[in-house]
Amino acid sequence: MHHPLSRLLACLLLLTLLATSAFAATDPFAQNKRLGRGVNILGWDPAWRDLSNARFQQEYFRLIHEAGFSSVRIVMYPFADAKRNDGKISDTWFHTLDWAIDHALANHLMADLDFHEYEAMSDDPIGRKDLFLSIWKQIAEHCKDRPSDVLFEVLNEPHGKLTPQLWNQLLAEAHDLIRKSNSDRTLIIGPGQWNGIGELKDLQLPEDDHNIIVTVHYYSPMKFTHQGASWAGQTETGVHWTGSPEERQAVTRDFDKAQDWAAAHHRPIFLGEFGAYDKADMDSRARWTSCVAREAEARGWSWAYWQFTNDFVLYDIQKHHWVEPILHALIPPDAK
């Protein structure tokens, strides 16, 4: 017969081993390394309302993996669906989310679930706070049994009325809510002002939670990356990026700032968006894209290109082929 103290010690040892195993499985630096090279997908795709009308097809998950990518950032706009259903996410919307997660995982791709309602939240953060938290509660509970290959990105590019100070308060509430059902889930959280590198200094993360990856976005110089994008206030075109020492040094300086912050706070970095709009010349787009991707990799960051299709296009779904200069800028043929 075992002594009660022996059983207690055995239980404590088992709990210690389980805790160690759980921590190892969700170490954010290991998770970030596995994220590796990614691409943004879905967004405003009709798939969210009716999967049979999807522009993004099941076969694309395989193509993304075979091209050398290791993750997808699934861009979610859940507000419209929730508002049609009195704040409850519909089975149809969750069916599409599950379809995307299932096929990402089946094709050896990690899945970052990106809450992309940044414009709505930045226009009225107070008025939409309850809806935001309610939807995260639903998504978190729906996905609580998913493996560690599924990550939650709390909110894309807070800005405007969602000031860095207000964002710190909101992210803390969202963090605590998600942790109730997903205690070991790796979270992705970025700073205010469009996830700008220069705003990392104001980002306040839960100090006792280290299972967090910090995301930043990069589109500098905007005059080049968004040329001809009237919706971004950039109407000029014909702007080139030659890859001169001065241009490359600007990228290096910006990335060094983020790396210094990451080292000081012991947090991994995920470059969640970068890209150059289609109206830039292809040679310049490829040069800039390659420079940014290599600088991120040199610092041990993961990254996700914006985006698979639509604008900043990586894959031409009409012609059924990759935009090869951009694909090769992201993943050189000899680097798979």
In a domain, 172, yes or no: yes
For the chain, the distance separating the N- and C-terminal CA atoms, rounded to the nearest angstrom, is 58
Report pLDDT for 231: 86
Report pLDDT for 17: 39
Report pLDDT for 26: 81
Report pLDDT for 334: 87
Neighbours of 17 (CB within 10 A): 10
Residue type, 92: T
Neighbours of 208 (CB within 10 A): 5
In a domain, 10, yes or no: no
Report pLDDT for 286: 98
In a domain, 290, yes or no: yes
Tokens encoding 183: 């205690």
Q: What is the DSSP letter of 31?
A: H
Q: Are the CB atoms for 326 and 314 separated by under 8 Å? A: yes
In a domain, 195, yes or no: yes
In a domain, 116, yes or no: yes
Report pLDDT for 143: 98
Report pLDDT for 16: 41
Task: Give the three-class secondary structure for 148.
Answer: coil
In a domain, 25, yes or no: no
Report pLDDT for 129: 98
Report pLDDT for 43: 95
* Number of structural domains in the chain: 1
Q: What does the pLDDT look like over 93-144, one tens digit per residue?
A: 999 999 999 999 999 999 999 999 999 999 999 999 999 999 999 999 999 9
Domain membership of residue 96 as a residue range: 37-335
Which residues in the chain belong to E strands, given as ranges? 37-42, 71-76, 110-115, 150-153, 187-189, 212-218, 269-274, 302-305, 315-316, 321-322
Report pLDDT for 3: 53
- Length of the chain (residues): 336
Report pLDDT for 128: 98
- Say how far apart CA 7 and CA 199 lie, in whole Å: 51
Report pLDDT for 201: 97
| DSSP annotation string for 184-253 | TPPEEE--HHHH-GGGGGG----TT---EEEEEEE--SHHHHTTT-GGGT-----------HHHHHHHHH
Report pLDDT for 25: 47
Report pLDDT for 273: 98
Residues of the chain with pLDDT under 50: 1-2, 4, 9-25
Q: Which of 118, 105, 40 is nearest to 77 (CA)?
A: 118
In a domain, 312, yes or no: yes
Q: Which CATH number fits the domain that encloses residue 141?
A: 3.20.20.80
In a domain, 9, yes or no: no
